[in-house]
A and B are shown apart, each in its own frame.
Chain A
Amino acid sequence: MKSGTLELAGISRRFGQTVALDNLNLTIGAGELVALLGPSGCGKTTALRIVAGLERSDAGTVALKGRDVTNLSAHLRNMGMVFQSYSLFPNLSAVENVEFGLKMRKVERASRRKTALELLELVGLDTQSKRFPHQLSGGQQQRVALARALAIQPEVLLLDEPLSALDAQVRTNLREEIRRLQISLGTTTLFVTHDQEEAMAISDRVGVMSNGHLEQIDTPDVLYNNPASTFVANFVGTMNHIPAEQQGDLVSIFGKSIRVKNSNGISGSISVLVRPESIEVSRAAGSGNAKVITRSFLGASSQIICQTPDGAVIQALMPSHESGDLHPGEDVTLNVTLNEVLVSHV
Chain B
Amino acid sequence: MAAMRNRLSFALPLTLAVASLFIFLPFGSSAEFSFRSYSQDGKLMHSLAPYRWIVEQPEFLSHLLLSFKIALFAVIFTAILVVPSVAWLHLKAQLFRPLVELITLLPLVIPVVALSIGVQTAFPDWLQSTEYELPLMYVVLALPFTFRILDNGLQAIPLKTISEAARGLGASWIATIFYVIAPVMRRAVAGAFFLTFALSLGEFTLTSLLHWDTFPTWVTSVSQQNIIGAIALSVFSLTFAFLVVFFASLSSSRSKKRMDATE
Contact = CB atoms under 8 A, between A and B. Distances in A.
Answer yes or no: are A and B bound together in one complex: yes
Interface of A: 53, 56, 71, 73-74
B2 to A, nearest CB: 7
Nearest to A73: B1
A140 B2 CA distance: 35
Interface of B: 1-2
B4 to A, nearest CB: 9
A239 B2 CA distance: 46
Contacts of B2: 56, 71
A73 B1 CA distance: 6
A75 to B, nearest CB: 8
Nearest to B3: A73
Nearest to B5: A56
A168 B1 CA distance: 39
Contacts of A73: 1
A75 B190 CA distance: 47
A71 B1 CA distance: 9
A279 B1 CA distance: 56
Contacts of B1: 53, 73-74
5 contacts: A53-B1, A56-B2, A71-B2, A73-B1, A74-B1
B53 to A, nearest CB: 53
Complex A-B, nearest 5 residue pairs according to Cβ-Cβ distance, in ascending order: A73-B1, A74-B1, A56-B2, A53-B1, A71-B2
A31 B107 CA distance: 63
A56 B2 CA distance: 9
Contacts of A53: 1
A189 to B, nearest CB: 24
Contacts of A74: 1
B9 to A, nearest CB: 15
A53 to B, nearest CB: 8
A151 B141 CA distance: 53
Contacts of A71: 2
A75 B1 CA distance: 10
Nearest to B2: A56
A74 B2 CA distance: 11
A71 B3 CA distance: 11
Nearest to A76: B1
A56 B4 CA distance: 14
B225 to A, nearest CB: 58
Nearest to A53: B1
Nearest to A74: B1
A55 to B, nearest CB: 11
Nearest to A71: B2
